[in-house]
Amino acid sequence: MFEDARQFKEAFVDKLQTMQGVALEQATNLDKYMALGGVIRDYIYKNWVETNNHYRKKESKQVYYFSLEFLLGRQLRSNLLNANLSVVEEALQELNIDLSKVEEMEPDAGLGNGGLGRLAACFLDSLASLQLPGHGCGIRYKYGHFEQKIVNGYQVELPDNWLKEGNVWEVRRGDKAVMVKFGGQVRLEEIDGKLVPIHENYDPVLAVPYDTPVVGFKNNTINTLRLWNAESGIKEFDFPSFNHGDYMKAVQYKYETEAISQVLYPDDSHQEGQVLRLKQEYFLVSAGVQSILRSYKKGNKSIRELPEQVVIHLNDTHPVLAIPELMRILMDEEGFGWDEAWEITQNTMSYTNHTTLAEALEKWPVDIFKELLPRIYMIVEEINKRFCRELWERYPGQWDRIAQMAIIADGFVKMAHLAIVGSYSVNGVARIHTEILKKQEMKNFYKYYPQKFNNKTNGITHRRWLLQANPKLADLITNSIGTSWIKHPEDLKELRFYAQDASFKEELQKIKRENKEQLAQLIQEQNQVQVEVDSIFDVQIKRLHAYKRQLLNALHILHLYNKLREAPQMEFVPRTFIFGAKAAPSYYHAKWVIKLINSIADKVNNDKSIQGKLKVVFLENYRVSLAEKIIPAADVSEQISTASKEASGTGNMKLMMNGAITIGTLDGANIEILEQVGSENIFTFGLTEQQVIEYYAHGGYNSWEIYHQDEQVRAILDQLVNGFLGDGSKEFKTIYNYLLHNNDEYFVLKDFASYANAQQELERAYRDQNRWREMSAINIANSGGFSSDRTISEYATGIWKVEPLEILGRSR
């Protein structure tokens, strides 16, 4: 199929007619996108069938990655790349169609908040590309992460109706629907001498799977991302039989049921006791576990062998109810006793922790939990009882320790505790993060289960984030060191010899400049701000959160601006600060920081006295497809979280891989980046993790002291409240109070001087362009270890015990 461009063109024109009902001449870009997607999908589906047959036949162990979030972004270009359809671009050109225009028609699949969801998407890509039998299991939210508009400098949220034109990649599998039960009562009835739980008066919800193919890189493997849709199951023809009252009830029921998969919670840090969120979590895992067992039982293996055949990976605590759900099915439906069911369950589940922020650790009020999931609550209670008994035997009399480790305590179900107790592996996402888990956050659990804890430093798919997002750089790399890095990203190491090569560096610089030109154009179109292409493009793109300290960056910009205003002729390398960030809709502090950045932008960008040397740009609606445009154009990568707070970070890896130089704290994966590139090729600053933890434990920091001692800090803080930034109203009082009256929880002022110093050093380094390019090359050369292929290989051998499986494929 598609041996040449001609064959593809025929299929494409045909698809335009059969799918969209238009001729090529009349087709809009949307028509073209749909038809192109349709042709590619047909092509991919063949190997999908093949892959599934092969998995069935071989009875190979399967991984199911359970996650409330999958932040896929767009799929057209990555499917083209991975399915090896290189003729397509050429064929479209012959038809006078610009692929990049067509591509813009695809809405991002924004089914995630940030790092955790994007990691899940990178992992799917690596699983398939490494020919590992691994599948995603999630929710098909009707509305993805909100669309952000900036109005007068403020964030405004709009619904993201990403499915409105349909979704060419997915297929609905109505025949594979399962039922999920909420509420009702459970009573125990004695049947044949055994106590059997009978669940009555529950609300049934139909879970309907929509499958999306996940295409491996040029290898015929097509794995599956299964997303569940919540439906009432009430058929339209049932309606006439309802009398008036029932009719209203039926409509209401339909509405309430469908609400379960209606919208992604747009928060990545703050847990609220929302029943709907708990419903979503149980809905996903119940549907997921039921469907896994259903297909497992079609094979020849016994359920006792489940742990050798299946691993369910829990992406944070959100899908942790998979543990009691599997227990329920094994006991209530398959007739296992507790001990055997527990052994199977514990050996089937593995869990990743993604944060130590206390406010993000999930816990559910017992009364809400019990009412919504009565049978699951009984099981969790029993898990807790048995676990506490074990603890009592090991630590007799140590009530405090046992209370601290209990799964149910103080009226809450603690999901991280359930996760650790119910799975055989617990991992953190960067070395420092895992160490913090072991010595602080989960200290007692580590002492009790040392063998469960392990580290898996995060990674990113170099296919999307380099090969696809930065094709010119990818070509330069291939022309220099050959193609092996594409399959073996560690081979990027070979580039280190080119760090001294003048012509390589010249090319590198040329490519960066071209990418910057493109981004400058986008900034002009979107923000009507003209930026200097030869200025330093200094980028901070990530969720807006106090611990990530966009505020530190913003205050430092204000500081640079003050210096420039005082001495416009001072030595200064022009800089463009670029931000992209969404704030959780109810996170007021974060929203004020957005407003602050935009107010600084207004002031700075319009001040002629500084001769355009400083520009500030906040790009609205940060998302995967926007990241793909910003990252290749970045010179500087801002990774400035308060040490100990950023579990890993993955943007840091994407930017490094595209040749940006990191300015960062010793936090998350920054530490491993530092190790890879050496201290001459990164700018680090700020408090260490130990110092931060010491301050939190014993106090000793007073932000007012810095205000009083540091004249420059005082100047910028006063500018927040003296009308300098706006219409004379004192609108940034909340930020001022946060930093001073609330003592600056994340040490922004404490790290300010050290950050400003590092920035000065960075500027000095940039002046030596030859040296800067060398640094850039060294960063790219050492980024291969941050490919998610490395991460996934480690999961496969260290946790999942799964092996690659060759798929022969039908198409070739």
Catalytic, out of 221, 650, 684, 734: 650
**Minimum distance, C-beta of residue 775 to ligand 26V, in the bound complex (Å):** 24
Distance CA 703, CA 709 (A): 10
Whether residue 581 contacts residue 553, with contact meaning beta carbons closer than 8 Å, is answered with no
Residue 458 touching ligand 26V (CB under 6 A): yes
Catalytic, out of 542, 559, 575, 613: 542
From residue 97, give the alpha-carbon distance in Å to each of 31, 374, 497, 803: 12, 57, 40, 42
Q: Alpha helix locations (H) across 347-470?
A: 366-372, 374-394, 399-405, 415-422, 431-436, 443-448, 462
543 assigned to active site: yes
**Minimum distance, C-beta of residue 67 to ligand 26V, in the bound complex (Å):** 10
Q: At what angle do helices 752-767 and 711-721 cross, to 10 degrees?
A: 100
Task: Decide whether 271 or 425 has the Cβ nearer to ligand 26V.
Answer: 271
Distance CA 209, CA 73 (A): 20
Residue 508 touching ligand 26V (CB under 6 A): no
Identify each DSSP E strand in 152-301 by its residue range. 154-158, 171-172, 178-182, 185-191, 194-200, 203-215, 222-231
Residue 643 touching ligand 26V (CB under 6 A): no
Residue 354 touching ligand 26V (CB under 6 A): yes
Residue 113 touching ligand 26V (CB under 6 A): yes
One of 73, 209, 659, 668 touching ligand 26V (CB under 6 A): 668
Whether residue 175 contacts residue 40, with contact meaning beta carbons closer than 8 Å, is answered with no
Residue 647 touching ligand 26V (CB under 6 A): yes
Residue 618 touching ligand 26V (CB under 6 A): no
> Residue 458: phi, psi to the nearest 5?
-55, 170
Q: Would you call 491 helix, strand, or coil by DSSP?
A: helix
Which residues have a Cβ under 8 Å from the Cβ of 537 and sit 6 or more positions away? 516, 519, 576, 578, 633, 634, 635, 636
Q: Would you call 210 helix, strand, or coil by DSSP?
A: strand
Residue 681 touching ligand 26V (CB under 6 A): no
One of 291, 345, 648, 703 touching ligand 26V (CB under 6 A): 648
Query: Taking the CA of residue 403 as centre, how many other CA atoms within 13 Å lie in the half-sphere pointing to its CB?
Result: 6
- Total site size for ligand 26V, rule CB under 6 A: 21
650 assigned to active site: yes
Residue 646 touching ligand 26V (CB under 6 A): yes
**Minimum distance, C-beta of residue 2 to ligand 26V, in the bound complex (Å):** 37
Burial class (CB in 10 A: 0-12, 13-18, 19+), 679: exposed
CA 474 to chain centre: 24
Residue 119 touching ligand 26V (CB under 6 A): yes
Residue 657 touching ligand 26V (CB under 6 A): no
**Minimum distance, C-beta of residue 418 to ligand 26V, in the bound complex (Å):** 15
Residue 114 touching ligand 26V (CB under 6 A): yes
Residue 360 touching ligand 26V (CB under 6 A): yes
548 assigned to active site: yes
Catalytic, out of 77, 145, 452, 654: 654
Task: Decide whether 272 or 393 has the Cβ nearer to ligand 26V.
Answer: 272
Task: Decide whether 133 or 266 has the Cβ nearer to ligand 26V.
Answer: 266
Catalytic, out of 74, 548, 559, 613: 548
**Minimum distance, C-beta of residue 275 to ligand 26V, in the bound complex (Å):** 13
Find the binding residues for ligand 26V in span 410-429 (CB under 6 A). Answer: 429
Find the binding residues for ligand 26V in span 212-271 (CB under 6 A). Answer: 265, 267-268, 271
Name the residue among 111, 24, 51, 113 with its Cα closest to residue 75: 111
Identify each DSSP E strand in 429-555 by its residue range. 453-455, 536-541
One of 355, 470, 637, 783 touching ligand 26V (CB under 6 A): 355
Residue 784 touching ligand 26V (CB under 6 A): no
Query: Taking the CA of residue 366 as centre, how many other CA atoms within 13 Å lie in the half-sphere pointing to its CB?
Result: 10
Name the residue among 313, 256, 275, 1 with its Cα closest to residue 134: 313
Tokens found for residue 296: 């497992």
Catalytic, out of 32, 135, 226, 354: 354
One of 35, 36, 85, 116 touching ligand 26V (CB under 6 A): 116
Distance CA 83, CA 458 (A): 25
**Minimum distance, C-beta of residue 543 to ligand 26V, in the bound complex (Å):** 8
Per-residue string for binding with ligand 26V, 280-319, x by CB under 6 A?
------------------------------------x---
> Residue 67: phi, psi to the nearest 5?
-150, 140
Tokens found for residue 783: 């980024």
**Minimum distance, C-beta of residue 646 to ligand 26V, in the bound complex (Å):** 5
The amino acid occupying position 469 is A
**Minimum distance, C-beta of residue 630 to ligand 26V, in the bound complex (Å):** 18
**Minimum distance, C-beta of residue 559 to ligand 26V, in the bound complex (Å):** 27
**Minimum distance, C-beta of residue 315 to ligand 26V, in the bound complex (Å):** 9
Using Cβ positions, the residue closest to ligand 26V within the complex turns out to be 115
The pairing of beta strand 575-580 with beta strand 536-541: parallel
Task: Decide whether 169 or 282 has the Cβ nearer to ligand 26V.
Answer: 282
Task: Decide whether 51 or 317 has the Cβ nearer to ligand 26V.
Answer: 317
Task: Decide whether 416 or 706 has the Cβ nearer to ligand 26V.
Answer: 416
DSSP 489: G
Distance CA 308, CA 98 (A): 49
Binding site for ligand 26V (CB under 6 A): 113-116, 119, 265, 267-268, 271, 316, 354-355, 360, 429, 458, 646-650, 668
The residues annotated as belonging to the active site are 354, 542-543, 548, 650, 654
